[in-house]
Amino acid sequence: MNCEKYAEYISALTDGELSSAERRELAEHIKECPDCEKRLDQIKALKETLSDMRAETPYDLHELIMEGVKKENAKRRAGIRKRIFGLCAAACLVFAFALVLAPNFSKLYLFGVKGEKSASEAPAMIEESTEADVAFDDAAVFSENASFDTDSLKSEAATAEYALPAAGAAPSAAGSDSGGTETTEKARSYMDGEFSNYIAFYGNAEIPDRFGDKETDYDPVNNRTYIYVANEDYKDAVAAISAAGFVLVDFDFPEPAQDAPRSLILICGDN
Amino acid sequence: MNENRIIQRIKDGDKSAFEELFKLYENKIYNLALKWTGDPQDALDVSQEVFLRVYRYLPGFKNQSSFGTWIYRIAINVCRDAYSKNRDETLSLDGEEEFETQIPDVRYSPENEFEKRQIKEVLKEAILSLDDAHKAVVIMRDINGLSYEEIAQALEINTGTVRSRLARAREKLRKKLAENGNFFEAGKSNNSEETHDKEGKRS
């Protein structure tokens, strides 16, 4: 007797998930199989006991859960305030230095982009990057040749970032009226899901297709492209994007989720 | 649907709506976590983490699946990340041995409060001893009352798999209970067998 098959039927029967044909089959079988008849009773008893075990919550469960959320809020506000202060302070410093080091700056943030531009020509830099589009060819961009060290890229780009105060401030200050702690709601919907890495660049965001076979999403309201990559591809993608002339910027991302399979790369364009 | 209205309010920026939404699911998520971890403090930690993630990511929630499916999926993921049974295989062996020595062989009638509690203890241990896949379906079905379809969506498997997995999980539990104490013999729902104890009374 193939009682294993009927064990499944019995289980499904108690959930009301048995087809009428299967029900007939089971009924026939049970007539001849006392074991399965017993089994049916036992499964029913089991289910009854389990449903008795449902309501076992602590009286202050709600308070405790809300506490956790409030802490998160407080942490975020503290973190953002620090970052904004940090940005302002750094920007002031940088302006002071920029006067002295102007020629060096233009070289710094033009890596990957042809031609010499001064620090004030921020809009021009965007147009300049269209030249970089040619270099930003699908196959070329995501090849294994790119072997940048993301960390050193970040420290280099950090100084370049503050040379473009408008662009640098825009993504990180983007927020709702509620204390400016979050990105706008619309921006969030592109970041649906969990990612193990987050990174943001500034540059021409208007051509999402250029990123080849990578999955992308384009936000026309804020002029942003979201690129979703598998973790294994993340480093290469970041390197390729940096090489093409996009500049690393600060952005108020959620906490990374270590076990998420994907990473997010954000390209912020001008608004 | 009430829930969808609350979610819309949250997306429109009304943060106070979060509390209302949480209240709809707190008990369910806590119970799931409690059955999964076996420990109230762990269950609390899991619950807090689940609702934290809901708080972070709900504004971006695209409604591709229902919210219920989404929050259960998060809950199972948090449970597995932190409290996976499959991580350490010897754990399950130890659990079984422990189980066998702990459970006294008692004859009981379910009417007795003390014995009812014992049965539940046995059952709790039995659930803890299941591996992740079987644990998840039993808890979601028999503790949380989700449909096959809802379970399928949350776990990203098909309903046929839910059905067979549930059957196997219940079979494992049933076997454990049958082996350890005469859980079923004395049950009034058992009409195929009548047992007589020493005093000749029908139980």
What does each of the 271 residues of chain A score in pLDDT, given as a tens digit? 578 899 999 999 999 999 999 999 999 999 999 999 999 999 999 998 898 887 668 889 999 999 988 888 788 777 777 777 777 777 777 777 766 766 655 554 544 444 444 444 434 333 333 333 333 333 333 333 333 334 433 434 333 333 333 333 333 333 333 333 344 555 557 787 889 899 999 888 877 667 767 888 888 888 888 999 988 889 888 988 888 888 888 888 888 887 788 899 999 887 6
pLDDT for the residue B51:
95
Separation in Å, CA of B53 to nearest CA in chain A: 9
Distance CA B172, CA B42 (A): 25
pLDDT for the residue B139:
96
pLDDT for the residue A141:
34
Residue B149: is its pLDDT beyond 60? yes
Q: Taking CA atoms, what residue in A is nearest to B56?
A: A254
pLDDT for the residue A54:
77
Decide if A53 and B59 are in contact by the 8 Å CB cutoff.
no
A212-249: b or e for each residue (b if 16 or more CB lie within 10 Å)?
eebebebbeebebbbbbbeeebbbbbbbbbbbbbbbbb
Rounded to an integer, the average pLDDT of B103-112 is: 47
Selecting from B40, B55, B143 the residue whose C-beta is nearest the C-beta of A50 gives B143
Q: What is the mean pLDDT of chain B?
A: 78
pLDDT for the residue B23:
93
A200 phi and psi, to 5 degrees?
-130, 145
Decide if B192 and A56 are in contact by the 8 Å CB cutoff.
no
Q: Domain boundaries in chain B?
A: 1-83, 86-203
Amino acid at A103: P
Q: Taking CA atoms, what residue in A is nearest to B182?
A: A42
**In the block, which residue shows the tokens 């270590």?**
A258
Decide if B35 and A53 are in contact by the 8 Å CB cutoff.
yes
pLDDT for the residue A194:
83
Among A54-68, B16-30, B159-173, the minimum mean pLDDT is found in A54-68
Selecting from B48, B163, B171 the residue whose C-beta is nearest the C-beta of A12 gives B163
Q: Domain boundaries in chain A?
A: 3-52, 62-268
**In the block, which residue shows the tokens 């709601």?**
A185
Decide if A45 and B183 are in contact by the 8 Å CB cutoff.
yes
Distance CA A29, CA A36 (A): 8
Using a CB–CB cutoff of 8 Å, tell me whether A189 touches chain B.
Answer: yes
Q: What is the pLDDT of residues B29-41, one digit of tens each?
A: 999 999 999 999 9
pLDDT band at B130 (very low <50, low <70, confident <90, very high): very high
pLDDT: is B7 or B198 the higher one? Answer: B7
Decide if B27 and A57 are in contact by the 8 Å CB cutoff.
yes
Decide if A8 and B163 are in contact by the 8 Å CB cutoff.
yes
Identify the CATH class of B1-83.
Answer: mainly alpha
Q: What is the pLDDT of residues B60-97, one digit of tens each?
A: 777 767 899 999 999 999 999 887 755 443 333 333 33
CB proximity under 8 Å: A 198-227 to B = none
Q: What angle do CA B4, B10, B12 make, to 5 degrees?
A: 105
pLDDT for the residue B56:
86
Of B183, B166, B44, the closest CA to residue B108 belongs to: B183
In this structure, CATH architecture of domain B86-203: Orthogonal Bundle (1.10)
Distance CA B99, CA B97 (A): 5
Using a CB–CB cutoff of 8 Å, tell me whether A2 touches chain B.
Answer: no
Interface test with A, best of B171, B175, B179 (most A CBs within 10 A): B171
pLDDT for the residue A232:
86
Q: Which residues of A touch B32 (CB under 8 A)?
A: none
pLDDT for the residue A243:
80
Write out the two tokens for B175. Answer: 């076997």
Of B55, B189, B185, the closest CA to residue A70 belongs to: B55
Q: Which residues of B touch A66 (CB under 8 A)?
A: 19, 22
Decide if A182 and B59 are in contact by the 8 Å CB cutoff.
yes
pLDDT for the residue B29:
96
CB proximity under 8 Å: A 64-123 to B = 64-69, 72
